[in-house]
């Protein structure tokens, strides 16, 4: 993650953004789709592993540019400006090319992009219905997992939607902690496999279900040496806390579903979205750990269920429950931890392009960053300007 205090590039992006071609219709090389997402909030308390901090803050400010490069390729760049501890970070969240003309339903994406595992992961944060990702995502994927790598995807020529894909990534943000800097990490650290199916139920309902597997070659934890003092996780990771996974293991298994409903399939006035995901991370225990130090459970797991109802074009309300059940290495032994989050949100949409959200979160923790029973209130705005990209299901 590069920390740039680079005003020039920000200005350049801002100029590109204000170009007169902004609203022209077809994005092409001379006329790319350019957009920005503005995101700010006030939050009454800290949330563990979250993007948002206590008090006033800016969420991810996105600047995106995309276009068809030529007959064969589509390209997209998404720069994200974030504030952390008073410093401005300019990160690249996406910088990928994708083939558009491969035969037989195949496509290849290369560069930096969001992994297609799970349901939420490939969606941009600004499309979420809650201020932060579910705790399972924050714990296992650092909020959302994007990385440098390559994807091969296939869509089957069937009426029932069926897609399968495989990805290989560098995996730096998914590495297990390495306090002594002695570990030899593999250069290609992460492989994923996923499949999704989906369809309609009559005119009113649509659904999608998926299974994911993530192989993390660098995910298994190495044991602390005798006499090491336990260090706080945040201190270990220092500044780079925002997008690294906190709980890693060699194998991660996931299942996800989403169901959407609208009267007559007309999403403008009312619609309902139900979604849920489950993840289990295994094989994290150091191989040289004494058997008597083994954790009580040899897996981390987390899940959430979410329901969002848009009851008028201008208002939507959501409820979400999520939890994680993890094992944290303290010196030479593991501590069980648990965090449960119950959330309610209410959002006002002045148009399709602006949202103001109020959210209440109750977080109950067991050995989780000292959280016992906290109530958190958040007020947030998310607005997009410029070209408005098409949304995923």
Partner 1 sequence: MFSLFNTLCLWGLTVRINSNFVKAAAAALSIACSGFAHAELNVFACEPEYAALAKELAPNANIYSATTALQDPHQVQARPSLIAKMRQADLVVCAGADLEIGWLPMLQMKSANAKVRSTDQGLFFAADQIDTLDKLASVDRSMGDVHAQGNPHIHFDPNRLLTVANALSAKMSQLHPSEAANYQKALADFSSRWQAAIPRWEEQAKALKGKKVIAYHTSFRYLFNWLGIEQVADLEPKPGLAPTSGHLASLLSRAEQKDILAVVVASYQDERGANWLGEKANLPVVMLPMSVGGNDASQDLFSLYDSAISLLNGVK
- Backbone CA torsion sign across 362, 365, 370, 373: positive
Contact string (CB under 8 A) for partner 1, positions 162-191, x = contact = xx----------------------------
Footprint on residues 37-56 left by partner 1 (CB under 8 A): none
User: Is 248 a binder of partner 1 (CB under 8 A)?
Assistant: no
Contact string (CB under 8 A) for partner 1, positions 63-102, x = contact = --------x--x-----------------------x-xxx
Q: Which is nearer to partner 1, 181 or 202 (CB)?
A: 202
In the DSSP assignment, the letter for residue 25 is S
In the DSSP assignment, the letter for residue 179 is T
Among 353, 358, 360, 381, binds partner 1 (CB under 8 A): 353
Give the span between the Cα atoms of 206 and 210, in whole angstroms: 14
User: Is 151 a binder of partner 1 (CB under 8 A)?
Assistant: no
User: Is 18 a binder of partner 1 (CB under 8 A)?
Assistant: no
- Alpha-carbon 12 to chain mean position: 27
Residues 6 or more apart whose Cβ sits within 8 Å of residue 190: 147, 149, 167, 168, 169, 170, 171, 174, 214, 215, 216, 217, 218
User: Is 264 a binder of partner 1 (CB under 8 A)?
Assistant: yes
User: Is 393 a binder of partner 1 (CB under 8 A)?
Assistant: yes
Give which of 274, 349, 275 is closest to 312, Cα–Cα.
Answer: 349
Tell me the window of 161-169, 324-332, 340-348, 364-372 that interacts with partner 1 (CB under 8 A). 161-169
User: Is 359 a binder of partner 1 (CB under 8 A)?
Assistant: no
User: Is 390 a binder of partner 1 (CB under 8 A)?
Assistant: yes
Among 265, 286, 331, 336, binds partner 1 (CB under 8 A): 265
First to last CA, the chain: 29
In the DSSP assignment, the letter for residue 291 is G
In the DSSP assignment, the letter for residue 334 is E
Q: Which is nearer to partner 1, 314 or 375 (CB)?
A: 314
Tell me the window of 46-54, 89-97, 138-146, 201-209 that interacts with partner 1 (CB under 8 A). 201-209
The SS3 call for residue 244 is coil
Tokens 């705790």 found at? 135
Least distance to partner 1, CB of residue 199, Å: 5
User: Is 29 a binder of partner 1 (CB under 8 A)?
Assistant: no
DSSP E strands, the chain: 33-43, 55-58, 61-68, 73-84, 87-99, 106-114, 146-155, 161-169, 190-201, 205-216, 251-261, 271-282, 299-312, 315-330, 333-351, 354-368, 371-386
Q: Which is nearer to partner 1, 102 or 177 (CB)?
A: 102
Footprint on residues 117-146 left by partner 1 (CB under 8 A): none
**C-alpha count within 13 angstroms, C-beta hemisphere, residue 141:** 32
User: Is 208 a binder of partner 1 (CB under 8 A)?
Assistant: yes
Q: Contact residues for partner 1 (CB under 8 A)?
A: 23-25, 71, 74, 98, 100-103, 105-107, 153-163, 196-200, 203, 206-208, 260, 264-269, 312-314, 351-353, 385, 388-393
């Amino acid at each position: 993650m590069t920390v740039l205090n680079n005003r020039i590039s920000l200005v350049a992006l801002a100029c590109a953004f204000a170009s007169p071609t902004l609203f022209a219709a077809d994005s092409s090389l001379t006329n790319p789709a350019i957009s920005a997402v503005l995101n700010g909030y006030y939050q009454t308390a800290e949330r563990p592993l979250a993007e948002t901090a206590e008090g006033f803050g800016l969420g991810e400010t996105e600047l995106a540019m995309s276009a068809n490069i030529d007959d064969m390729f589509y390209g997209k760049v998404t720069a994200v400006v974030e504030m952390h501890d008073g410093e401005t970070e300019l990160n690249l969240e996406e910088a990928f090319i994708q083939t558009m003309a491969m035969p037989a339903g195949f496509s290849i994406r290369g560069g930096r992009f969001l992994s297609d595992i799970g349901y939420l992961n490939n969606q941009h944060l600004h499309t979420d219905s809650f201020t932060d990702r579910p705790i399972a995502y924050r714990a296992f994927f650092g909020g959302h997992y994007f990385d440098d790598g390559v994807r091969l995807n296939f869509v089957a020529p069937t009426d029932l939607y069926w897609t399968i894909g495989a990805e290989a990534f560098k995996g730096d943000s998914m590495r297990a902690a390495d306090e002594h800097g002695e570990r030899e990490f593999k250069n290609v650290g992460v492989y994923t496999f996923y499949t999704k199916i989906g369809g309609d139920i009559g005119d009113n309902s649509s659904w999608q279900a998926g299974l994911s597997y993530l192989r993390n070659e660098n995910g298994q934890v190495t044991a602390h040496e005798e006499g090491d003092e336990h260090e706080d996780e945040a201190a270990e990771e220092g500044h780079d806390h925002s997008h690294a996974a906190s709980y890693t293991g060699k194998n991660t298994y996931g299942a996800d579903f989403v169901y959407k409903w609208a009267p007559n399939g007309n999403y403008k006035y009312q619609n309902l979205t139900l979604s849920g995901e489950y993840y289990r991370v295994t094989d994290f225990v150091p191989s040289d750990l004494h058997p008597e130090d083994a954790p009580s459970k040899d897996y981390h797991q987390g899940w959430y269920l979410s329901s969002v109802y848009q009851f008028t074009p201008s208002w939507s309300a959501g409820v979400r429950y999520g939890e994680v059940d993890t094992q944290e290495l303290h010196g030479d032994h593991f501590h069980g931890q648990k965090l449960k989050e119950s959330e309610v949100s209410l959002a006002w949409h002045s148009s399709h392009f602006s949202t103001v959200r109020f959210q209440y979160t109750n977080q109950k923790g067991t050995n989780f960053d000292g959280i016992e029973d906290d109530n958190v209130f958040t007020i947030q705005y998310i607005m997009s300007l410029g070209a408005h990209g098409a949304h995923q299901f």
